[in-house]
Amino acid sequence: MTESPAPETSQPMVRFERVTKRYGSLVVLDELDLDIARNEKVAIIGPSGSGKTTVLRMLMTLEKIDGGVIHVDGEPLTHMERNGQLVRANESHLRRMRGKIGMVFQHFNLFPHMTSLGNCIEAPMRVLGLSRREAEDRARELLEMVGLRDKMGHYPSQMSGGQQQRVAIARALAMRPKVMLFDEVTSALDPELVGEVLNVIRRLGEEHDLTMLMVTHQMGFAREFADRVCFFYEGKIAEQGAPAELLGNPKEERTRQFLSAVLEAS
Amino acid sequence: MRALVVCGIVCFAAGLAVAGLPGLRDFLPQLLAGAVVTIEITIGGCAVAVAAALVAAMAKMYGPAPLRWLAVAYIELFRGTSALVQLFWLFYVLPHFGVLLEPMTVGIVALGLNVGAYGAEVVRGAVNAVPRGQWEATVALNMTRAQALRRVILPQAFVAMIPPWGNLFIELLKATALVSLITISDLAFRAQQLNQITFETVKIFTIVLLIYLAISSVITVGMRALEERAARGIGRGRA
Ligand SMILES: Nc1ncnc2c1ncn2[C@@H]1O[C@H](COP(=O)(O)OP(=O)(O)OP(=O)(O)O)[C@@H](O)[C@H]1O
Ligand SMILES: [Mg+2]
């Protein structure tokens, strides 16, 4: 379903303004403009190397920005205003902004020396200052939501990929972010485990006020779940629109080629 | 477990040697007193080495420029000069600057700092070997770098550090023989002293050899056990 156009007064949750990212001479993002509304679910698709992961990593402040500005929740992400000028943000500004964003990685990146409960309470206790009790209550609720009530004391090495990824989702949610980033979170999973992770994401979208950006190769999921699909090509958005439209009736030749290649592969 | 067997054999052999060599009881107490000193210096030196290595590695990797330089200077200085000269320097040169230290303190600090310089590189290597994704997860969870290091990175690096630290501890044990040159009556010193009096060269130095071997076996076994425990703690080896 598509959302009605937002009223002009409401700011987008995320705004990329002519954002450029380079690695040496390789331009990975080329003056990218992208607005994402509050609670909007955006799927990012595109060929390998088109800059999809880079978009998420820049939002998570894992990569430095080479040009342009990213705004989150109305504030510049890696810059701050001082005397009417935008200067590079200091650590405390960065940490405040990072608090609004959560990320789930392709390879889970769980802490292997902590149980799933331990993974979920670590940052809430140390970063948000929650007591152990509060953090555990919150973590239990979330682990239950992702269907891992009976795995709280398990270490990552004792769980399947699908279970680990669900712990990773619970861990990110425990920080109560406003924006959630998902980078091909089912790509490292065996096919039979993909469904359980996508179901969790689906429920998240339905039950929580969350702005969600997901890089995915699951076209079926993108079609049913996303409000909008962005097709990336060589560091730019080559085409975007409602899922049914973009996936069913793409206007650009490059989009068509990509989609038929994906179809063939699956 | 193989180390445990080795250790047992060593002790058995040592016992045999003691029992089989008449007159040995006369100088064994002296040697054991020396061994105690050697063990004290080894333990103290290892503690200093671990502390120095952690501080130097963290400063070199994450410290502000001046601290980083200091850490690099320390590591290069202590790796690039001989332990004996370092020992002499602390013992004979520092007093010229008004710093007078007990010989035992000098022995522990000098050997600890020497081995710590190598240990710093061990720490650095193990920290760098922790997958980048772990760091990225801590950023995504909004942890500070100090929190990330203490809670996530170092505990994982710890397991990888244990075997090389075992080697360094044994290096330190062997280097303790040098302290006999700054008036400390360690095992090597006592051996030489006894040898000069009794001329029982073969017996004395065989016993000394066995005592050193026994101590290093204890280190090996201890580190092996520590490694197993740490690997379990990290969730590996459970599956
Ligand atoms: N640290 C880096 N150093 C150099 N080049 C990099 C680095 N990270 C990414 N790149 C390059 O940037 C480009 C975009 O990478 P990105 O990971 O965003 O692609 P992607 O669209 O996510 O691709 P995929 O579908 O394969 O994950 C690629 O050409 C990649 O090789
Ligand atoms: Mg990618």
Measured CA to CA in angstroms, residue A191 lies from A4, A53, A105, A187 at distances of 35, 22, 17, 9
Looking at the structure of chain B, the number of domains it has is: 1
Of all atoms in ligand 1, which is nearest to the CA of residue A184? 27
Residue A211: what are its φ and ψ, rounded to 5°?
Answer: -90, 130
Distance A54 CA to ligand 2 centre (A): 7
Distance B5 CA to ligand 2 centre (A): 51
- Kindly state if the Cβ of A216 falls inside 6 Å of ligand 1: no
Residues with CB under 5 A from ligand 2 (ion): A 53
Q: Report yes or no: B120 and B112 within 8 Å, Cβ to Cβ.
A: no
Domain edges within chain A: 111-176
Nearest-ligand number for the alpha carbon of A105: 2
Q: Report yes or no: A143 and A171 within 8 Å, Cβ to Cβ.
A: no
Chain center to CA of A28: 18
Q: List the pLDDT tens digit at each of the 266 positions of chain A.
A: 444 454 444 789 999 999 999 999 999 999 999 999 999 999 999 999 999 999 999 999 999 999 999 999 999 998 888 888 888 888 899 999 999 999 999 999 999 999 999 999 999 999 999 999 999 999 999 999 999 999 999 999 999 999 999 999 999 999 999 999 999 999 989 988 999 999 999 999 888 899 999 999 999 999 999 999 999 999 999 999 999 999 999 999 999 999 999 888 77
Report which DSSP code applies to A153.
Answer: T
Using CA atoms of B160, B171, B184, B193 in order, give the dihedral in degrees to the nearest 10.
150
Of all atoms in ligand 1, which is nearest to the CA of residue A106? 27
Closest CA in chain B for residue A180 = B140
Render pLDDT for A201-241 as a digit per residue (tens, 0 to 9).
999 988 889 999 999 999 999 999 999 999 999 999 999 99
Average pLDDT over residues B78-91: 94
Judged by CB atoms closer than 8 Å, whether chains meet at A112 and B236 is answered as yes
CATH code of B233's domain: 1.10.3720.10
Measured CA to CA in angstroms, residue A256 lies from A2, A239, A245, A260 at distances of 22, 11, 12, 6
Q: Report yes or no: A58 and A68 within 8 Å, Cβ to Cβ.
A: no
- Calpha distance A256→A215 (Å, rounded): 18
Judged by CB atoms closer than 8 Å, whether chains meet at A126 and B147 is answered as yes
By residue range, what is the domain housing residue B228? 2-238
**Facing A102 at nearest CB: one of B134, B140, B234:** B140
- Calpha distance B221→B166 (Å, rounded): 9
**Facing A155 at nearest CB: one of B131, B147, B235:** B235
Q: Report yes or no: A167 and A114 within 8 Å, Cβ to Cβ.
A: no
